[in-house]
Structure 1
């Protein structure tokens, strides 16, 4: 029962954990195509500028570096366990290093084009427009981390602009335009980063709400046990697995005796306390990870016991019956006796053709226990 209860009570990830996992996935997916576009822009610029005949080896080296970067980004997948903060941080900064290296390579190429052209040639304008496009895309693509997005924009253009401003006076007009664009991008990064944080908060709130709704849909609100829906699903799964392997699977159907009398005599609050006490005692008795205790009706419970034969199930049922009978409910000044009639058996694969047939057979044994005087165990 421990695994089932843990699943039903499992909390969704914290906002920080969710954002860390989501940001890592976004960074991986968004960074992967970048080297391809760098290569396309590099090829167009080199073709327009006629660089291939004169600088073929250098161009081949840059293309190779971008190919290696693409491969390294592709194989450097995010860690599966987002709860491991140290591993996530290590992956994060390594991947940002790969992104920054790509930015530096492009900036050096842009700087080299300006140095070779020494003016507003077609090749330089293609490189300048590509730089604007890459830095604008960086504002959007890397808005998941404001500082890193700023660093991407800086690495893509600032070193080249400083060189042009000092060494190539003919490019000053373009430097002025790029500087204005850079200032605009700084404000855009701040806005997009805030929007990304807001989006993460909304997604996390929706995830938390959905998880809570799913958890509550599988829990009995009063006792905290699995409810009928969760029991039906789990029983069918275990039944089919056991039937395929012809293995042992035991089931108890537990019905409290004279429960209506408790409600009528002491009130519904006492009845609720009685159900909670039975749930607690039953849960304390069946602690294996595979065991399941569920409330399947008003005062009816089911205990599912995988890998348990009929003899073991009978002994456990008798232990449960005695435990309940020896633990009266203390309610105000009253000690209310609580007993149960229990039907129990292991699945019989020569008789039980469906899960419903198994349940009906054992449920009938529970009714037989009531007919024989209650507070007893009957094997189906």
Structure 2
């Protein structure tokens, strides 16, 4: 299992994990119902006399096995889809349990099965034990499946109390143990699930921290290096526009030298806040690429629309500068390079970035405080 397999929303994780566990554990058990029935039938006194019933039940358990195997998990790991899958799969489990419970009851009510009753009973014990320990995700459904496996046979044994009381009492005691074991397995399963969720939450927090610039709370260079190639690959497939703005604060070294690095940090934070005011669409990815250099990735944004936003930011910064908390107002300008992905020019994400970076370099060369378009 890779990280990409995990659902991104932690509230979906519990049902996703349950679906995965159910899918894995149900595949092993399905074939044993079929084998148990074949042994019970073929070791009866006269299997040929029950050929019609034997074949019918064989087809039934084959069908249940086949339905388990072909019932694939949904491609989309949405909560509603996963819950629907789990509900449908539990229906298969419960129907199979009822089918075997009736087989066990038949074995004890028909003398033809006297030689193979032990097979049926041991199979019932095995199936119910597996249910208690392998399917504790839903306690009520687990109890229901165990009762479906057990109760039909217990009813028949109860009707034969004088001759079968020892077996009936033994199975009843074991049933009580299984119900207690299922309850314990249920608690342990959900305790483990809670721990997994906590670890997933912690990992996501660490991942977010590793991809977030601690000073500005924008994405950092690591985030950019991950996001940018993926966005370029997406627009190469789909043909949608992708624009990139690179921003560099002019003469930032002077701010650090004149006011100190503490004020410089406040300036970087205020600059990031100003970016958020202008590039505020949900689809805009705002990043600090390092030092005083920033970037904005704008998916589904044509070049002209990106240019308008970049010019609004440049004019606003040029006119208003930055208000630094606890400090006087700082006049500030920035140099910007802007480009939109062009399949004819950009053979790769690196080529696209270089075109925009070259435009930023020209903006600095031409006197700063300006926007230069990539060519």
TM over 0.5: yes
SS in 1 for 2:291: coil
Choose which of 113, 138, 159 in structure 2 pairs with 1:145.
Answer: 138
CA distance in 1, matches of 2:344, 2:25: 58
Q: 1:12 matched to which residue of 2? A: 9
CA contact (8 A) 1:12 1:211 kept: no
Choose which of 221, 234, 259 in structure 1 pairs with 2:214.
Answer: 221
Map residues 120-269 of structure 1 onto 2, 5 A cutoff. 121-167=114-160, 169-238=162-231, 250-269=243-262
Further displaced range: 96-105 or 229-238? 229-238
Further displaced range: 369-378 or 171-180? 369-378
Q: Does 1:61 align with 2:56?
A: yes
Q: 2:275 matched to which residue of 1? A: 282
Normalising by structure 2, we get a TM-score of: 0.82
SS in 2 for 1:332: coil
Identify if the C-alpha distance between structure 1 residues 204 and 341 changes in structure 2 by more than 3 Å, giving closer, same or farther: same
Further displaced range: 310-319 or 140-149? 310-319
CA distance in 2, matches of 1:20, 1:112: 37
CA contact (8 A) 1:236 1:355 kept: yes
CA distance in 2, matches of 1:244, 1:55: 62
CA distance in 2, matches of 1:378, 1:315: 13
- Segments of 5+ residues of structure 2 without an aligned counterpart are 1-6
Residue 91 of structure 1: how far off its partner (Å): 4.5
Q: 2:333 matched to which residue of 1? A: 339
User: Deviations 1:281-326 (Å, cap 9, x if unpaired)?
Assistant: 3234335666443211111112345676776665544332112122
CA distance in 2, matches of 1:88, 1:240: 30
SS in 2 for 1:232: helix
Choose which of 95, 104, 107 in structure 2 pairs with 1:101.
Answer: 95
CA contact (8 A) 2:46 2:112 kept: no
Map residues 81-100 of structure 1 onto 2, 5 A cutoff. 81-84=77-80, 89=83, 91-100=85-94
User: Deviations 1:59-97 (Å, cap 9, x if unpaired)?
Assistant: 22222222333344445445544433xx65555444333
The one of the two structures with greater contact order (alpha-carbon pairs below 8 A, sep at least 6) is: 1
Normalising by structure 1, we get a TM-score of: 0.81
CA RMSD of aligned residues (A): 3.4
- Segments of 5+ residues of structure 1 without an aligned counterpart are 1-9
CA contact (8 A) 1:115 1:168 kept: no
CA contact (8 A) 2:242 2:298 kept: yes
Identify if the C-alpha distance between structure 1 residues 251 and 134 changes in structure 2 by more than 3 Å, giving closer, same or farther: closer
Q: 1:7 matched to which residue of 2? A: none
Residue 362 of structure 1: how far off its partner (Å): 4.2
User: Deviations 1:182-215 (Å, cap 9, x if unpaired)?
Assistant: 2222222122112211221122122222222222
CA contact (8 A) 2:268 2:292 kept: yes
Identify if the C-alpha distance between structure 1 residues 343 and 156 changes in structure 2 by more than 3 Å, giving closer, same or farther: closer
CA contact (8 A) 1:343 1:364 kept: yes
Q: Report the count of equivalent residues.
A: 366
Choose which of 359, 363, 372 in structure 2 pairs with 1:369.
Answer: 363
CA distance in 2, matches of 1:118, 1:350: 80
